Structure 1
């Protein structure tokens, strides 16, 4: 009987101690896009007719070099605009999808320029900021 009570006491202590342990891991030191930029043609006469007919957005590759416990969530943090860009307009149009894939509309209101994007990746207990991880070049 004493052994049963002692066993139950030890199990309760062990179970309660496990609640403070963070689940999984996240390593973003080597996170990168390849290529790390995308040229977006704003003059639709220079874009393939098929893309225009389908109103297909501009889409990046997935991010590589991420290690962590799934599911990983990606979200837009900020954008810096240079060479004549408007970060506020760009921020309203960018969409981040699974695996860090970013989508930008074919028909944009954003002016020509360079847009440097910062993302956040997170899972259940960890997160990391990926500063200046991708550049959109609107021509």
Structure 2
């Protein structure tokens, strides 16, 4: 049951990311925070990586396997790159940004670090 919930949560989150990264958002007030969009990218991919991991860890029988962690990170990375490519090729109001990809990676890495720490802590208790 949890597997389906995590799958659909990850699917929904991919839809949220796609929507906010592909629609025109010129009139959205972002406040005075410099590069707040980079924080949003990091947050989006932190959540995406975490949801993908939760789904994938149920697919792997060996609880010590690194496959769910690696695949969750790679999926988030490739999804973020794909969104940037789509922005550059198929939208008139958005543009590709290497720094968005770096922000995506930082959010995904933070997720992986916290997942790894949680797994290490859980093994010691």
TM-score (norm 2): 0.34
TM-score (norm 1): 0.31
| Higher normalized contact order (CA 8 Å, seq sep 6+, divided by chain length) | 2
Structure that is richer in strand per residue: 1
